[in-house]
Structure formats: C-alpha cells, structure tokens
Amino acid sequence: MKKQTIIAALLLATTMSHGKTTPNRTETPANFEGYLFAYFEGRGDAKQQEHLRFALSDDGVNWRALNENRPVIASDTISESGGIRDPHILRGEDGRFYIVATDMNTAKNGWNENPGIVLLSSDDLLHWKHAKINLSKDYPKHFGDAYWVWAPQTIYDRKAKKYMIYFTLQRNDRKSLITYYAYANKDFTGFESEPKQLFSAKYGSIDNDIIEKDGTYHLFYKGNTKDENGKEREYLFKEVQYII
C-alpha cells in the first residue's frame, strides 16, 4: 500500500487492432498481442496522482505507459474520496473487462478511514461504467465499523459462475487485517449480499492474490508480521491452497 508506485494487476493479454480491443474468449493465447497493467502513482500529494493509469507490454517485461503516463480515468469522477489505489483489472469469461480499486485519497484523508471500493466494467477498455461500495454505509449491521477496505481483487468462480471480489478489512479497533469476499452482482455495480470472511492470518493479511491452477486455488498474501517492538518486518509472502 505504501509504495510510491504500485502496479496492482496484470491484465491477461488483449487482442488489439487499430486502437480498438476485440474481446473474444474463443481465441487462444497465441492470438493475443500484448499485456496491460493497471496502476496508480503517488500518495495524492501531487497533481494527477492516485488516478487510474495503463501501461502496455509486448513481452510482459518491458513496459510503456499509455497516454503519456497521464490518467486514463480521473479518480474524482468515479470515487467517493476523490482518489483510487490498488487497481486490479481482470479480463472476464464473458470478454468484458473488470476493475476494482481501493477508494482512497491520502492527500485528503491520510491513512485514516477509507471503507470503500470502486468498481468499473467495460466492453472495449475505452468506455467504462462505474459504481461505488462503502462497506460501513451499505452494510451497517455487521460492517458499520469498517475502517480500511484495501486492495480488492476479482476472480471468476467457475463453479458458481460468478465474479468474486475479495479484499482486506480492518475495523475501527485496528486489531486485525482479515480477508473477506463477496460475489459481484450481474451488473458489476455492487455485491450480491453481505461479505463473508475468507481467510484470517495470524498476523493479518493484505494484498491478497488468488490464482487457479488445475482445480486448485492458491492464495498469496503479504503477512503483516511485526517484531517485538511492534515494527512491521520486511514483506513476507505466504501461500494457502484451496481445492474446489
């Protein structure tokens, strides 16, 4: 969360022709021509920071920023706080594109309360529909004390045939970082129902990433391990396996 520049997700390669994107799930990876990163810059203390940006690569190693590294979408047009962080982009099973991001503006609010998620969807990577979720307001009975809703990501659940959004939650007591999940509704404008707990690590977990391989789901996360003085240790990545 505190890196100056965070590239939150690698979009599965996209067939591109004359500046337009043609989603087609019948195509094989050999037909794809590039990779797309969704990312943000800075901590909101400079012009055009904490906005959505894109970068393109032919090989997944060498990258070039699109739009001269200017935002492709201004955060104050899609978010409650005026900023976004941790954007994650997914090419869906239906050929559409889905983005979720932390609704957060550090220039305005610092690292204080930010209980929201921004959702976007598009058919062509050019025209986007957007919506917002504020966990504390939308689900006050069990999440009225939501303090942080961080680093959301989306994965397609083939068994449920739905898109699952998962994220880290910290409540007002500031005692834990627990991973929660909920299925997105059909319009990708909100949750179908109240989020449920997915995973609780001993020292907390943030920046979760779920990868499916041959029917096994692998959950990677950053452990929030601290030393005896309460200082956070270096990043510690762990893996938990779920078999569906």
Determine which of 6-15, 41-50, 109-118, 177-186 has the lowest per-residue pLDDT on average.
6-15
Q: How far does the chain reach from its first CA to its final CA, in angstroms?
A: 30
Q: Can you tell me the mean pLDDT for 80-96?
A: 95
Angle at 40 between CA 98 and CA 25, to 5 degrees: 25
* Number of residues assigned to the chain: 244
The gap from C-alpha 97 to its chain's centroid, in whole angstroms, comes to: 13
> Distance (Å, rounded) from C-alpha 81 to C-alpha 96?
26
Q: What is the pLDDT of residue 22?
A: 35
> Distance (Å, rounded) from C-alpha 38 to C-alpha 239?
24
Nearest to 196 by CA among 126, 115, 139: 139
Determine which of 82-86, 107-111, 138-142, 230-234 has the lowest per-residue pLDDT on average.
230-234
Phi/psi at 201 (5° precision): -80, 155
What digits encode the pLDDT tens for the residues 43-69? 766 678 899 999 999 999 999 999 999
Structure tokens at 92: 């869906």
Burial of 171 (0-12, 13-18, 19+ CB in 10 A): middle
- Calculate what percentage of the chain has a pLDDT beyond 70: 80
Mean pLDDT of the chain: 84
> Distance (Å, rounded) from C-alpha 48 to C-alpha 121?
22
